Amino acid sequence: MSSPLRISIPKANLATATRLADLGRQTFSETFAATNTPADMAAYLATAYSPELQLAQLQDPAATYLLAEMQGQAVGYALLAQHSTLGLAPEANARQLEIKQLYIVEDWIGTGLGKALMRRALDIAQADNCTAVVLGVWEHNERAKAFYQRFGFREVGEMEFKLGDDVQRDLIYRKGLAGRAG
């Protein structure tokens, strides 16, 4: 029997953008509402998710959305960006894919969807001849850090992340693609 999980690169239209905005708002809230003030959350959500913003990302040739669906229901997504300079010295000449966002709907966490999206992202990076995949993760997001480490990501730096008025510390994780595992 074929798997009920479908991972696709969604079409760039307003209906998809609205769906991704709702999914992004929902999963970001599920992940971070408990550890931030309602005011900071509201300020961040307003700047990060709207049909117009997600439509612009869908239309950006340097960005790729991966949408995970189970029987037509959106259960997770990843947002990838080509040509990332995250964690690189200015003179470095590497080709890096960045996982800008990777979120699974709360009820589906721990069921293998994160792994499936990560594998698809690594396939895309490899097909694009990238030398590494990079991402930023909040320093206290232990579940995500453990997940990335299992794929061979290692900390290579840090950066600021502004959530509303709160300036937080994100770790930069990198995985070289030679001898890929996971």
Ligand X SMILES: CC(C)(COP(=O)(O)OP(=O)(O)OC[C@H]1O[C@@H](n2cnc3c(N)ncnc32)[C@H](O)[C@@H]1OP(=O)(O)O)[C@@H](O)C(=O)NCCC(=O)NCCS
Q: Does 80 bind ligand X (CB under 6 A)?
A: no
Residues 8-47: x/- map of binding to ligand X (CB under 6 A)? -----------------------x----------------
Q: Does 150 bind ligand X (CB under 6 A)?
A: yes
Beta-carbon contacts of residue 21 (< 8 Å; ≥ 6 apart): 49, 50, 51, 53, 54
Q: Does 141 bind ligand X (CB under 6 A)?
A: yes
Residue with tokens 């990332």: 84
Position with the least CB separation from ligand X: 114
> Does residue 151 sit in helix, strand or coil?
coil
Q: Given the complex with ligand X, which of 108 and 176 has the nearer CB atom? A: 108
Least CB distance to ligand X at residue 13 (A): 25
Q: Which of 133, 75, 140, 144 is nearest to 108 (CA)?
A: 75
Q: Which two tokens stand for residue 75?
A: 């259960």
Q: Among residues 35, 36, 50, 111, which is the contact residue for ligand X, using CB under 6 A? A: 111
d(CA 105, CA 148): 18
Q: Among residues 115, 155, 157, 176, which is the contact residue for ligand X, using CB under 6 A? A: 115
> Does residue 171 sit in helix, strand or coil?
strand
Least CB distance to ligand X at residue 91 (A): 28
Q: Given the complex with ligand X, which of 18 and 111 has the nearer CB atom? A: 111
CA distances, 7 to each of 34, 133, 182 (Å) = 29, 19, 18
Q: Which residues are near ligand X by CB under 6 A? A: 31, 102-104, 109-115, 137, 141, 143-144, 146-147, 150
